[in-house]
Structure 1
Amino acid sequence: MKRSFSAALAALSVFAFAPAVIAQATATQSESYTAPEGAIEVFTPMRDETVLAGNLYLPEGEGPWPCIVTRTPYLKDARYGQPGAGDRYTDAGFAFLVQDVRGKGRSEGFYRAFIDDGPDGYDTIEWMAEQDWCNGRVGITGGSAMGITSNLAATYDPPHLDAAYVIVAPSTRLTGSYIGGAFKEQDSGGWSRRQGISEEVIANTARNYPDSAYWSNTEIGDNRRFIDIPMYNYGGWYDIFNEGNVRNFQYLQNEGRDGARGNQRLTMGPFGHGPLSGDLAYPNGGGLGVLTIEGVDQELRWFNYWLKDIDNGIMDEAPVQAYMMASARTDELSDQNRWMSFGNWPPAPNYSEYYLHPNGSLSTRAPSGDEMVSYEFDPENPVPTFGGANLTFERGPMDQRQIGERGDYLRFETDVLTEDVMVAGPVTMQLYAATDGPDTDFMVKLIDVYPDGYEAIILDSAIRTRYRNGREPDQIEMMTPNAPVELTIDLWDTAITFEEGHRIAVHVTSSNYPRFDVNPNTGEHPSDAETPRIAQNTIYMTEDRPSAIILPIIYDPN
């Protein structure tokens, strides 16, 4: 079936998940205020009597109508202030409300990033259901920050919330600021600095990865067991929240409550949180905009089904639409770049280990010797970042050859492939490693090596070794110097065909700056360390400690 996906990019800015409270008292109901053209400003009381402001757009004719809400920290009048901002929904017969979250724009209160959005979302939805312009059926929608507010509202299980449509949103607030315990220096730290947040607050954010009661109220992954509605998740393979759309879908579709289980949809395209950098461009791949299939707006189709009982066939289709990436040099696109349909995710792959070998090879043959490779990691000379799942700087499948040859950057690659290798699902690295100090980092990348040598980054991840057993207070443990440990590194999910003539590669190092802060190797937090030390880090590739990347292999159903 022919498919086309709109590439109209929406300005879905994101945020840093700073644990610190950001206070902002705001005024409402100013007599001098004029609502945007076509909108009626309405005020919604919360359970604590704080009043939130929203712009309401109504269809022509007689109500009541089914209603859709989006809740934004990015100011309703800035993002939805232009004429016709609500037409897409009202022309389809929905009342549409865009609301400033607590402490933002014209809403009262104090802004605490995502802390209040569960109960505030609940109160807003239930208030809407009681208005004379609402028929009692409510949906919630949004991307990025608005996707998070949507997910948090759904975890509170409002009785009148019937469906949600979520674009690029995480399963945990953690992934906005940390990967494997390493702080996302450029995206979280740099973004916060541009918002005027102090270095003291940013340093406190970087320290806040260990689990605590602070996280419990707003952890979508912990609280999604309370979600009881159909949700459509739309995400990108290079997006900073890749894991959220995929894993929220997985849980709700297969383990969710009765109203959620079996009623989910997932679409994953080859895009990031903004335009991709590098020399690759995926044809017909969509983006962070309105998703259309065969010219039909899928969000409106979703809400037509669940809020209007229009049997448009959306629930008769395969639950998962995933873009299978392949060779995508801008001047030589492969016809293997295509959309595929699956009954679930992951699509029943065969997990295959590709083992690291001391000579730099990567193969399905397990090591039989007792060799290992060591390198010096100097925190004052970190490996630079080129691409990956970034927000505020270059992102996507950039060429890793720019890093050059370094003693602390290990490359492992297969022989030239004689047949295609199709990967679809979660990618995991089992790394056996040691360090000569109390703490260090290990970074892993999955790379598609083109015939001309272009090293396209597909996935990358990190682990701060003190968090190797978990982030619960009793799980955090410093390393024993020179004692090897097994590290499990989650690289998230992808769908890519490594084509004949290419190579599969794994790159291992201990820094990736400014994507991540740099571990001082002293056991201190990076912001506290006055004298970083050079670490001697060792990767094991032995018979009893075989480091390997685990790839989910599928076979082309066509």
Structure 2
Amino acid sequence: MPKITARLALAACSVLALGLTPFAAQAKPAKAAAADQASDIPAKWEAPRPGFDYDLREVMIPMRDGVKLHTIIAIPKGAKGLPMLMERTPYDADSFLKRNIPHLRDAVWSANREWVDDGYIFVYQDIRGKYGSQGPYIMTRPPRGPMNDSKTDDTTDSYDTVDWLVKNLPESNGKVGLIGSSYDGWTVTMALLGPHPAVKAAAPESPMIDGWMGDDWFHYGAFRQINLDYFTEQSSKTGKGEAVPRSSYDDYQAFLDAGTAGAWATTNGFKQLPWWNRLSSHPAYDSFWQDQALDKQVVAKPSTVPTLWLQGLWDQEDMYGAIHSYEALKAAGHDNNHIVMGPWYHSQVNRSAESLGALKWPGDTAADFRRDTLIPFFDTYLKDRAPATPQPSAMIYNPAEKHWDSFAQWPGVPQSGLTPFYLQASNGLATQPSSGADSYVSDPAKPVPFEPLPARFADHPSWATWLVQDQRFVSTRPDVLSYQTPVLDHEVRLEGAPFADLFARTTGSDVDFVVKIIDVYPPTYAEQPELGGYQLPISLDIFRGRYRGGFDKPAAVPAGQVQEYKFRLPTVNYTVKPGHRIMVQIQSSLFPLYDRNPQTYVPNIFFAKPEDFQKATITLEHGPDGQSAVLLPVVKP
């Protein structure tokens, strides 16, 4: 054993003399031991935030039924008499503002920097049941009425939130502007069904308005399979859920192997999701969809709030809502509504927009719009700052001429003034009727892809720009028919919504039609050589043939009998230049974006059986049995 020093030995003897062991002598007092158990984390930590140029508040705002909604508020330091810009979202209010960033301009999304410069208070709120907010989540919760027998909806939640804000933010001037894109555009539109008096301006951007007719879920009855991932991400948990796992890199093959959207959903556990069960049991445009279509609701309950409806000309997700809401309100005489359509993909208005796919613009069309149009529109009503030029009824970009056009009314051409371009023999397209017919075989086992393979829904750059994809990648397929004019010796200006008007017969008992209107560039194009011969779709959509007699009245197609299929295509403001051609492409699938039509009539395509999927020969008539055409909104010189 080591030797013990004299000092240590003496200390040990003293301890023993007191009847204590050396170990006990080292024990701490009981009070100190208890203190050791207290948490090192204070009950509430308040960071000093030195150098921050804004105050950040996080509150739970009570609704009329007691449910509290999680809300983030950013107030510039020293603010006095500033208006409030509010966005209500299912996409996590916390994600709209970076934490621990001293300068508000750096903390907000890039599209909000101009708003910071102009002087606004920012309000972001999680809607019911999502992220930090209480209550049950219901996908695009319908307005109170036949589909919602409760006392609350996104209209009342917006009203109650605004009411709390004007009473609790003395830094504000008591005025609120509403903004938001996609689902957040839905919440803006819902707020307009019964707005708080403090709401002075609104901008629904690419809003989800009618999910069956032409926004996210369906287009004219054809189901958009890309949203299956959205369903799990959005409704499998309160926060962000996961996309459906893939066993294949190529979604084209993965969905082909699954068979139907219903089979895919069942395999991946979707029967646990109430939203999927509701949607899949309503494949037709019945009251389930009609009663929550907001373009009808905003006319039934019009607001006096000045509203700027925004949409991209190539919006791959919500192409329908803004323009149809605007048109419905204008037709009902509500002149406080305006439409803006830019050369953008979905929500690109909130990003940089110098280009779209292969198309290039002079400058950042989105940033310029936000600075020169959007913020001045809000300032007019929230800051009493009249713009130099009043906002026109319609402001729509002309992608061919690369500039904005303003219109006192829109559309510039009524439907009665549409010009037919008839399908011709030898794949021609002309304003005079022709004679004859053309056929193709549509095989559900080999559907036409919506983009070059491999198709990957998770590839956002590809997904965002597929609507401007060069269509030469399918133009030589035998199940795609192409018709084009001779080379134009004059410009053809199009303003409004085209229509497809097809007369066709099929050997099956159901059919889909995809119609594309295309600007065919000259074989060489000096300004941008890669656009030589480019087939640029300027308007396209899909129509499910069983709804030819009414969207709420599906019916089998009589085999071998000519039927008319007439449907509206997306709005255009476009000039087809001399040296170009106008082309129309027609096909019967656009996969895997849209589910396959089995071409055998079944009550619910979601749950079609493998044996229901059959080849069909489809014949387009352009003679005595029917003059198939596209009806174009040509502006007469």
Partner of 1:245: 322
| Deviation digits for residues 262-297 of structure 1 (CA, Å, limit 9, x no counterpart) | 22232211121258765332334624x6734xxx35
1:262 to 328, 335, 358: 335
**Offset at residue 41 of structure 1 (A):** 0.8
What is the one-letter code of the residue matched to 1:199? A
Provide the rounded CA distance (Å) in 1 between the counterparts of 2:63 and 2:285.
29
What is the one-letter code of the residue matched to 1:534? K
1:470 to 528, 531, 550: 550
What is the one-letter code of the residue matched to 1:270? P
What is the one-letter code of the residue matched to 2:131? G
The answer to whether the 8 Å contact 1:519/1:526 transfers is no
Change (3 A) 1:437 1:196: same
What is the one-letter code of the residue matched to 2:223? F
* Secondary structure of the structure 1 residue equivalent to 2:192: helix
Partner of 2:64: 47
Partner of 2:514: 443
| Deviation digits for residues 377-407 of structure 1 (CA, Å, limit 9, x no counterpart) | 110001111389x995242321111114222
2:196 to 154, 158, 162: 158
Moved more, 120-129 or 503-512: 120-129
Q: Which structure 1 segments of 5+ residues have no match? A: 1-29, 327-335
The answer to whether the 8 Å contact 1:321/1:342 transfers is yes
Q: Which structure 2 segments of 5+ residues have no match? A: 1-41, 142-152, 234-241, 245-263, 271-275, 524-532
Partner of 2:358: 279
Partner of 1:457: 537
The answer to whether the 8 Å contact 1:520/1:526 transfers is no
What is the one-letter code of the residue matched to 1:145? Y
Alignment of 1:173-188 (within 5 A): 173-174=211-212, 175-185=215-225, 187-188=226-227
Q: Is 1:298 the equivalent of 2:385?
A: no
Provide the rounded CA distance (Å) in 1 between the counterparts of 2:167 and 2:207.
29
Partner of 1:332: none
Q: Is 1:397 the equivalent of 2:474?
A: no
Partner of 2:615: 534
Provide the rounded CA distance (Å) in 2 between the counterparts of 1:208 and 1:286.
39
Amino-acid identity (%): 29
Provide the rounded CA distance (Å) in 2 between the counterparts of 1:309 and 1:459.
39
Partner of 1:307: 382
| Deviation digits for residues 23-75 of structure 1 (CA, Å, limit 9, x no counterpart) | xxxxxxx9779899731012211222111010112244364543221101111
The size of the alignment, in residue pairs, is: 503
Q: Is 1:382 the equivalent of 2:447?
A: yes
The answer to whether the 8 Å contact 2:220/2:551 transfers is no
**Offset at residue 501 of structure 1 (A):** 0.8
**Offset at residue 88 of structure 1 (A):** 5.1
Partner of 2:251: none
Change (3 A) 1:123 1:500: same
Change (3 A) 1:317 1:139: closer
Alignment of 1:313-332 (within 5 A): 313-314=388-389, 316-326=390-400
Question: Which protein has greater RCO, CA pairs closer than 8 Å, 6+ apart?
Answer: 1
**Offset at residue 91 of structure 1 (A):** 5.1
Q: Is 1:118 the equivalent of 2:155?
A: yes
* Secondary structure of the structure 2 residue equivalent to 1:507: strand
The answer to whether the 8 Å contact 1:59/1:91 transfers is no
1:218 to 274, 278, 292: 292
Moved more, 271-280 or 499-508: 271-280
Partner of 2:239: none
Provide the rounded CA distance (Å) in 1 between the counterparts of 2:57 and 2:534.
54
1:340 to 405, 409, 415: 405
Partner of 1:498: 576
Partner of 1:230: 306
* Secondary structure of the structure 2 residue equivalent to 1:67: strand
Alignment of 1:132-143 (within 5 A): 132-133=169-170, 134-143=172-181
The answer to whether the 8 Å contact 2:179/2:202 transfers is yes
Provide the rounded CA distance (Å) in 2 between the counterparts of 1:366 and 1:99.
56
Change (3 A) 1:33 1:415: farther
Larger radius of gyration: 2
Moved more, 515-524 or 152-161: 152-161
What is the one-letter code of the residue matched to 2:513? F
Provide the rounded CA distance (Å) in 1 between the counterparts of 2:138 and 2:278.
15
Partner of 1:14: none
Indicate the structure with greater strand content.
1
Moved more, 340-349 or 33-42: 33-42
What is the one-letter code of the residue matched to 2:306? P
The answer to whether the 8 Å contact 2:55/2:77 transfers is no
* Secondary structure of the structure 1 residue equivalent to 2:450: coil
The answer to whether the 8 Å contact 2:96/2:124 transfers is no
Indicate the structure with greater helix content.
2
Provide the rounded CA distance (Å) in 2 between the counterparts of 1:478 and 1:68.
50
Change (3 A) 1:345 1:34: farther
| Deviation digits for residues 178-204 of structure 1 (CA, Å, limit 9, x no counterpart) | 11111112x313444663468133586
Moved more, 144-153 or 79-88: 79-88
Provide the rounded CA distance (Å) in 1 between the counterparts of 2:289 and 2:80.
41
